[in-house]
């Protein structure tokens, strides 16, 4: 039976600006896929990311080029062979997982030999601002279990310290988004240790991380922009102690599941992250979240309006969407 494919751009305005070292985001611009076969429909969502040379237009063009093969029944393994890792493949892969589960009556969690989804502790993010305002933001969420602190190269110690004072008991992830130098990384070892930071995410530019080979710090370093898919893992050895897996980087749940297992077998800690997106982009990532040491899936909570039947936040715990939202 032939499939029908609907590809659309959707914009989700943010409730407040999202500031990181490379800029400010006011909207989440996503690409959604609805894949119909008979009376069943599989859905997927992806976030094109300019850091990886993507745009909404380029992602839609990648999908459209495969429309004939997709309509005639292309599977996930063939999709991996036809498209590189990235947002286009992620949205299509998610739609395929969802459609397969609807057609078979077997939910994704069961196909992965898992138990049904349960709540997980997710990081809540404090974006870049003045130390004073970051302290105010952290105080609002001080009771949660995990906070991610966005910083750049402008006095990161003051910003981290402000968050730690406002949230004395939360675990902390610090994320410079590639904005530090190796000298700044060395200088920050004392402040990171004093703030009891649990994880430092991608401090150096991905193309400058050879400097990490000769570096030994007080806080485990997590690869984000430097690691997209399983074939990147050999290069991570000696540089990083953890890997941030995002479906928009791996190109979907299929490759993300492989990367998760490979990273754990090689001794890396695993973090499951996301772009700023809706619950439709988060639902597939939740299938991996219970396997991770760190979960950072707060993307939907930056939106003014998410899907009403999507994920929910209870304290610092992320509750999965109800059955039928995605994945059976």
> Is residue 93 pLDDT above 90, yes or no?
yes
What are 127-146's pLDDT values in tens digits? 999 999 999 999 999 999 99
Mark whether 250 and 190 lie in a shared domain.
yes
| CA 260/CA 257 separation, integer angstroms | 5
| CA 98/CA 100 separation, integer angstroms | 6
Structural domain contains residue 115:
no
pLDDT of residue 22: 86
Q: Number of structural domains, the chain?
A: 2
Percent of the chain exceeding pLDDT 90 equals 95
| CA 202/CA 196 separation, integer angstroms | 18
**Cα distances (angstroms) measured from residue 249 to each of 18, 45, 140, 149, 188:** 20, 13, 31, 21, 28
Mark whether 129 and 28 lie in a shared domain.
no
| Residue 150 falls in the annotated catalytic set | yes
| Residue 40 falls in the annotated catalytic set | no
Neighbours of 161 (CB within 10 A): 17
| CA 299/CA 14 separation, integer angstroms | 10
Structural domain contains residue 113:
no
Structural domain contains residue 36:
yes
Inter-residue contact 177 to 152 (CB < 8 Å): yes
Structural domain contains residue 57:
yes
Q: 3-class DSSP state for residue 129?
A: coil
When pLDDT is averaged across residues 225-248 and rounded to a whole number, the result is 98
Strands 146-150 and 171-175: parallel
Tell me which H or E stretch contains 241: none
Structural domain contains residue 328:
no
Give the CATH number for residue 226.
3.20.20.120
Choice among 148, 246, 249, 269 that is catalytic? 246
Structural domain contains residue 256:
yes
Tell me which residue of 132, 130, 290, 272 sits closest to 201, measured CA to CA.
272
Q: What is the CA radius of gyration of the chain?
A: 19
Mark whether 92 and 211 lie in a shared domain.
no
Q: 3-class DSSP state for residue 275?
A: coil
pLDDT of residue 178: 98
Alpha helices of the chain — where are they, by DSSP H?
A: 56-65, 67-71, 76-82, 87-104, 108-111, 131-140, 156-166, 182-187, 189-194, 233-236, 247-250, 253-265, 279-289
Mark whether 248 and 198 lie in a shared domain.
yes
> Is residue 113 pLDDT above 90, yes or no?
no
When pLDDT is averaged across residues 50-75 and rounded to a whole number, the result is 97
Mark whether 228 and 281 lie in a shared domain.
yes
Mark whether 31 and 61 lie in a shared domain.
yes
Mark whether 104 and 134 lie in a shared domain.
no
Neighbours of 133 (CB within 10 A): 14
Mark whether 102 and 168 lie in a shared domain.
no
Where among 85, 108, 131 does a domain terminate? 108
What are 151-202's pLDDT values in tens digits? 999 999 999 999 999 999 999 999 999 999 999 999 999 999 999 999 999 9
Give the CATH number for residue 34.
3.30.390.10
| CA 264/CA 147 separation, integer angstroms | 23
Where among 88, 108, 128 does a domain terminate? 108
Banded pLDDT at 301 (limits 50, 70, 90):
very high
Is pTM beyond 0.85? Reply is yes
Choice among 148, 150, 249, 269 that is catalytic? 150
Inter-residue contact 85 to 95 (CB < 8 Å): no
> Is residue 317 pLDDT above 80, yes or no?
yes
Mean pLDDT score across all residues of the chain: 97
Structural domain contains residue 20:
yes
pLDDT of residue 174: 98
| CA 172/CA 182 separation, integer angstroms | 21
pLDDT of residue 308: 96
> Is residue 119 pLDDT above 80, yes or no?
yes
Mark whether 100 and 135 lie in a shared domain.
no
Where among 108, 137, 152 does a domain terminate? 108
Inter-residue contact 47 to 40 (CB < 8 Å): no
pLDDT of residue 215: 97
**Cα distances (angstroms) measured from residue 42 to each of 78, 147, 263, 264, 323:** 17, 33, 29, 30, 14
Mark whether 102 and 129 lie in a shared domain.
no
pLDDT of residue 152: 97
> Is residue 117 pLDDT above 90, yes or no?
no
Structural domain contains residue 327:
no
Mark whether 147 and 276 lie in a shared domain.
yes
> Is residue 1 pLDDT above 80, yes or no?
no
Which residues form the domain of 104?
A: 4-108
pLDDT of residue 241: 98
Mark whether 56 and 89 lie in a shared domain.
yes
């Amino acid at each position: 039976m032939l499939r029908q494919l609907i590809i659309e751009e959707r914009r989700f305005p943010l409730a407040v600006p999202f500031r990181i070292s490379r800029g400010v985001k006011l909207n989440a611009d996503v690409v959604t896929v609805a894949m119909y076969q008979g009376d069943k429909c599989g859905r997927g969502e992806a976030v094109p990311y300019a850091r990886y040379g993507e745009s909404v237009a380029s992602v839609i063009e990648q999908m459209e080029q495969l429309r004939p093969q997709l309509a005639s029944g292309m599977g996930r393994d063939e999709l991996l062979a036809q498209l590189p890792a990235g947002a286009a493949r992620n949205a299509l892969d998610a739609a395929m997982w969802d459609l397969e589960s609807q057609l078979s009556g077997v939910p994704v969690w069961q196909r992965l030999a898992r138990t049904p989804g349960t709540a997980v502790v997710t990081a809540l993010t404090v974006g870049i601002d003045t130390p004073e305002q970051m302290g105010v933001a952290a105080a609002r969420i001080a009771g949660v279990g995990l906070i991610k602190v966005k910083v750049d190269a402008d006095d990161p110690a003051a910003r981290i310290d402000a968050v730690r004072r406002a949230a004395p008991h939360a675990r902390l992830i610090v994320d410079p988004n590639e904005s530090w130098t190796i000298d700044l990384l060395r200088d920050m070892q004392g402040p990171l240790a004093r703030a009891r930071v649990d994880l430092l995410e991608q401090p150096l530019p991905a193309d400058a991380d050879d400097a990490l080979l000769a570096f030994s710090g007080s806080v485990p370093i997590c690869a984000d922009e430097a690691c997209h898919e399983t074939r990147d893992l050999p290069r991570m050895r000696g540089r990083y102690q953890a890997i941030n897996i995002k479906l928009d980087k791996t190109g979907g749940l299929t490759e993300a599941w492989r990367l998760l297992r490979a990273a754990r077998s090689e001794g890396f800690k695993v973090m499951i992250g996301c772009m700023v997106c809706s619950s439709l982009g988060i639902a597939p990532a939740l299938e991996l979240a219970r396997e991770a040491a760190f979960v950072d899936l707060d993307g939907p909570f930056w939106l003014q309006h998410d899907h009403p039947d999507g994920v929910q936040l209870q304290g610092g715990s992320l509750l999965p969407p109800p059955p039928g939202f995605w994945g059976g």
